[in-house]
Amino acid sequence: MQLLANALIAGSLAALIAGGLALVYGVLGVFNMALGQLALTGGYIAWWLHQVAHLSLFVSVIGGLISGALMTWLTFEVFVRPFYKHHRFLPLVTTIAWSMILDGLILLVFEERPRSILSGGKSMIPIGSALISKEQCIMIILTIASLLLFAWVFHCTPFGRKLRAVVQHESAARSLGINSAVLHRVIFIVSGVFAAAGGIFIGIDQNLSPTLAFSLTIKAYAAIIAGGKGNIWGAIICAYAIALLEQLLVGIHWFGAFYVPAGYQQTVALLFIIGILLLKPSGLFRSVSRTA
Amino acid sequence: MRKFFTLSSLLALSLTACGAGDNGPIKLGMISALTGDAAAIGADQLSGVQMAIAEINAAGGVNGRQIELIAEDGKCAGADGATAAQKLVNVDKVVAIVGGLCSGETLAAAPIAEAAKVIMLSPSASSPDITKAGDFIFRDYPSDAGKTKAIAKYFADEKYSRIAILSENTDYSQALRASLKKDLPEGAVVFDENFDPGTKDFRSLLGRLKDAEYDALVSNPNSDGVNAVIVQQFRELELPGQIVGTDTMDSVVIAQIAGEEADGVMLVNVPTAGEGTSFEADFTAKNGDPKSSIAWAAYSYDAVKVLAQAFKAVGTDGMAVKDYLYSMQPYTGVIGSFHFDGNGDPVGLSYVLKKFDDGKVVTVKPLPLE
Amino acid sequence: MNFFLHIIVMIATTVPNVLGFNLLFGRGKIFHFGPLGVSIVAAYGIFLVTIATDSFTLGIAAGLLVVSLASAFFAWLSLRLDADGFGVMSIAVHLGLLAVVLNWSSLTRGALGIPRIPRFVFLDSTLDFALFSTVVAAVWSYILWKIDKGPFGRKLIALSEHEWHAKSLGIDRPQVHLIAFLLAGIGALLSNVLYPQYLYLLHPSDYGFPGFVFFVTVVVAGGPGSVRGCLLSLILLSFLREGLRFIPMAPDILGPLRLILFGLILYIAVYCRRDLLFPKQRTV
């Protein structure tokens, strides 16, 4: 029971970052390796607003999200847009460059010490046999709500239909009068807002340190690749699945005989994708798309 | 402040260009992690070293000669540690090196210093391999052996017979873990897990601890940030038993992050690493709050002071300094009184039990070793 | 002088590995993110056996064996998966191998690394090492240059440009991939038989993701696929990286600045090389 709660906490964080990214990957087909750094930037700015500028938590969180959006916009204009039409793999390398620059900037501006947005103890609520804090409850609910809303917009509204049209066949969508360039930008920024939300999540639930970024990025991509290209549901489900697997792995006495050493916790989750991809090279939930 | 250092190092550079004889500045090298996972510790070490040098120079230097610092980034990695040592030894021709931070960079740099007969004095490398790294390789960081004996003694005093250990998979934590397991009685370790460097979600691991029968948890990560998370999640899950930490627990950051949840956490460390002394006041006035812990600055500060004392007594020749350090009378610095044994490890440091109380770290009692 | 020789050693011991990676990533456009995974296998394979048996011959033989297996595994993955999947997968395999090394501490001493690595008897001073590793690097560069210019290089290019067309011309994709990965594996072996010897230390911290980013920067800046360009960019970037140490600046600012500078170099390199790195695909 506690394991499930733990998986919900960790999974919500992963899903938050992976959800927006799945859309970017599905529509633009590009990788954004600076995603983890963008998430951290959002978290750090929220921390700064709350702990240094002493604004209220709500304002700080909004500020963090907005700054996340702005940073992602910058990322898009400088590191993605000049390249992705050329070849969709070029942004992969440019965003690695951007992630190094951001790493350096985070070190210079926010320094190395750990930062926590909310300090102090958390009041725990027992749910069944599990203990979960108030903040965690709120964050899990907000995450699931925003992801559901997001997926609903994508799958069930006219705007979502436009998005999906661009995913399926870009030039056809354009000939139908859909402004795909603007859509690309919007999608990219949305993914940045989700990432920043993830960074704030970390800052509230745990604490921020400059070296977290890489594992965030990798886990998000693991979920996306395993979930199937362009399938948001798949990415979200896989993000939760990976988190659950991570928790089960170290938390369960396997076959009543042994525990998996905790040092393998994160790796095994990544190897999980390997299993899936080898069985189904196009991902667990392949999007059913018509081919022209 | 930073501008000042830039200026002063520029000035120093132009000075060396004029040629340094025996009356020129004494060049002291430093290898630390200024970027990468351990950069917070590296920053504190750098501040400590700079502070010691500033004090020595303000007091007229060593026998009239100023000390000039050349700091290099070893990034906690072997390759960069070796490159840093090559530059310090062969380009800058330093007479001694303070560093490295991690055992990896220290071990890679050691053969280079050893070959050039340059003293290396590490303020934080804890690996048992350093002991045998060479004649010119010293450290003023307490070896794990003494620290873990003190922990074992504390456990015996409190009748904690079932011990859980949670260690980060880094050389620092692993060396401590190995040493601790050696000092605890047979069968005392009931839970012994390592986690990936940088992990911040311990809920399931700690959840499993709930089912284990244990008296005390030794929290053994590489940094205070991770320690804070372990303490927080330990309390969130309302686990029973005592949390015990070591150096990385001795940090105000933990109280800042975990708040009242940190209260009651015990730790075993040297009596003072500068907390509450004039050293800390001076440090804070110069550099602001330490980025990781004042202790890292203190060990580095003492390392410079010990070297300066040696230079004063026997000059800057590597062989002479080496012999001096091996036969040195106990030196009383910020971290306590110590001298070096035949392997270049510090002896004489004592350990105390400390406790988080109302957001502060207070000393509970000494843990004398027989 | 010794410092200069040291940089030469560092460059020369990296050359085989980077050129192997260049063959895969630069020439073959194979999205291989795990070259350091193969390096870990190579280094630990060689030196664990060498230390256990006290014989370099056995150690290198064992290294060759495990490297071939690891390379073949990567080659198989690259055939089984599409480019994106393989990219993420190869990172996962790299991190997985690193985790094995860290956690299997009874064998590898985990995070403590293996100190006091033995050296070849004829390698003593830095000068010996610089000469020997330069010879190895030069021979390996020449071999790869020949291969690259020869029929094999053309096959690899053909496959990277248009897989189906290449196939219809009778190019055997599995075979070409396997050979390319094996060549890269041997490069990793050559690099890693020398590098830990030079440091007297085998430490897992030298095999993390940042090392891989340096590889990518070198290949992209040197002109993807070009052996000469890669060598040149490796030399220039290495000297730049270590040359930054000579800038008089507060060391705590210099570290982050170096990260930023290398980020910018990579970005500019991609900007200038975007036609070479991933040529625009011709649409029919």
Nearest to A120 among B201, B207, B259 (CB): B259
Average pLDDT over residues B122-144: 84
Reported as a single tens digit per residue, the pLDDT across C210-259 is: 888 888 888 888 877 888 888 988 998 888 888 877 877 776 677 788 88
Taking only Cα atoms into account, the Rg of chain B, rounded to an integer number of angstroms, comes to 21
Q: What local confidence, expressed as pLDDT, does residue B7 receive?
A: 43
Q: Report chain A residues whose CB lies below 8 A from the CB of B212.
A: none
Please name the chains neighbouring B, where neighbouring means 3+ C-beta pairs under 8 angstroms: A, C
Contact B119, B307 (CB under 8 A): yes
Reported as a single tens digit per residue, the pLDDT across B148-202 is: 888 888 888 888 888 899 998 888 888 888 888 888 888 888 888 888 887 888 8
Give residue for tokens 């990260």: C259
* Mean of the per-residue pLDDT values of chain B: 83
Q: Which whole-number Å values give the CA distances from A141 to A126, A135, C9, C140, C259, in the listed order?
A: 16, 10, 56, 58, 38
> Nearest chain C Cα to A105, which residue?
C256
Q: Which residues pair with B65 in a beta bridge?
A: B62
Q: Which whole-number Å values give the CA distances from C88 to A102, A219, A263, B68, C83, in the listed order?
A: 22, 10, 20, 47, 9
Residue C150: asked if its preceding bond is cis (omega within 30°), the reply is: no
Reported as a single tens digit per residue, the pLDDT across B251-288 is: 777 888 887 888 888 888 887 766 767 888 888 888 88
**B194 contacts A261? CB cut-off 8 A:** yes
| Both tokens assigned to A141 | 């609910």
* Mean of the per-residue pLDDT values of chain C: 85
Burial of C51 per CB tally in 10 Å (0-12, 13-18, 19+):
middle
Reported as a single tens digit per residue, the pLDDT across C45-57 is: 999 999 888 888 8
Most confident of B94-98, B317-321, C154-158: B94-98
Any A CB within 8 A of B365 CB? no
Average pLDDT, consecutive stretches of 10 residues, N- to C-terminus, chain A (292 residues) = 81 85 80 88 90 86 91 88 79 86 86 75 71 82 86 81 77 80 85 89 82 83 79 83 82 71 76 75 58 38
**A90 contacts C82? CB cut-off 8 A:** no
Provide, rounded to the nearest whole percent, the portion of chain B with pLDDT above 90.
5
Domain assignments of chain C as residue spans, ordered by start: 2-208
Instruction: Give which of B356, B346, B360, B370 is closest to B126, Cα–Cα.
Output: B346
Q: Confidence band (pLDDT; 50, 70, 90) for C72?
A: very high
**B229 contacts A121? CB cut-off 8 A:** no
Q: Which whole-number Å values give the CA distances from C214 to C44, C107, C219, C230, C231, in the listed order?
A: 21, 29, 9, 12, 13
Burial of C171 per CB tally in 10 Å (0-12, 13-18, 19+):
middle
Contact A26, A229 (CB under 8 A): yes
| pLDDT(C188) > 80 | yes
Beta-carbon pairs below 8 A across chains B and C: 114
Provide, rounded to the nearest whole percent, the portion of chain C with pLDDT above 70.
96
- The conformation of residue B77, written as its DSSP 8-state character, comes to S
Q: What is the pTM of this model?
A: 0.84
Helical pair A2-28 and A180-205, crossing angle rounded to 10 deg: 160
Q: What are phi and psi of B161, to 5 degrees?
A: -105, -15
Instruction: Give which of C30, C26, C2 is closest to C233, Cα–Cα.
Output: C26
For residues B67 and B28, what is the distance between their CA atoms, to the nearest angstrom? 7
Three-state DSSP class for residue B30: strand
Q: Is the Cα torsion angle B32, B34, B36, B40 positive or negative in sign?
A: positive
**B259 contacts A111? CB cut-off 8 A:** no
Cα B189 to the chain's mean position, in Å?
26
Domain assignments of chain A as residue spans, ordered by start: 2-211
Q: What local confidence, expressed as pLDDT, does residue A175 receive?
A: 83
**A202 contacts B196? CB cut-off 8 A:** no
Q: Which of C4, C9, C100, C201 to mutate: most B Cβ within 10 Å? A: C201
For residues B176 and B143, what is the distance between their CA atoms, to the nearest angstrom? 9
Nearest to C110 among B79, B82, B169 (CB): B169
Please name the chains neighbouring C, where neighbouring means 3+ C-beta pairs under 8 angstroms: A, B
Contact C218, C269 (CB under 8 A): no
Q: What local confidence, expressed as pLDDT, does residue C185 receive?
A: 92
Any C CB within 8 A of A287 CB? no
For residues A158 and A164, what is the distance between their CA atoms, to the nearest angstrom? 10
Q: Which of B35, B46, B204, B292 to mutate: most A Cβ within 10 Å? A: B204
Helices first, then strands: H and E counts in chain A: 12, 2
Three-state DSSP class for residue C140: helix
| Single-letter amino acid, residue C182 | L
**A211 contacts B37? CB cut-off 8 A:** yes
Contacts with C208 (C-beta within 8 Å, 6 or more apart), sequence order: B77, C36, C98
Domains contained in chain B, CATH given: 2-142+275-334 (3.40.50.2300), 144-269+351-366 (3.40.50.2300)
Q: Which of C77, C79, C84, C91 to mutate: most A Cβ within 10 Å? A: C84
Q: What local confidence, expressed as pLDDT, does residue C62 receive?
A: 92
| pLDDT(C67) > 90 | yes
Chain C nearest-CA distance from A252, in A, is 19
DSSP string, A193-252: HHHHHHHHHHHHHS-B-GGGHHHHHHHHHHHHHHH-TT-HHHHHHHHHHHHHHHHHHHHS
For residues B235 and A95, what is the distance between their CA atoms, to the nearest angstrom? 39
**C279 contacts A104? CB cut-off 8 A:** no
Reported as a single tens digit per residue, the pLDDT across C142-174 is: 998 998 888 888 888 888 877 778 888 888 888
Give residue for tokens 């996962």: C92
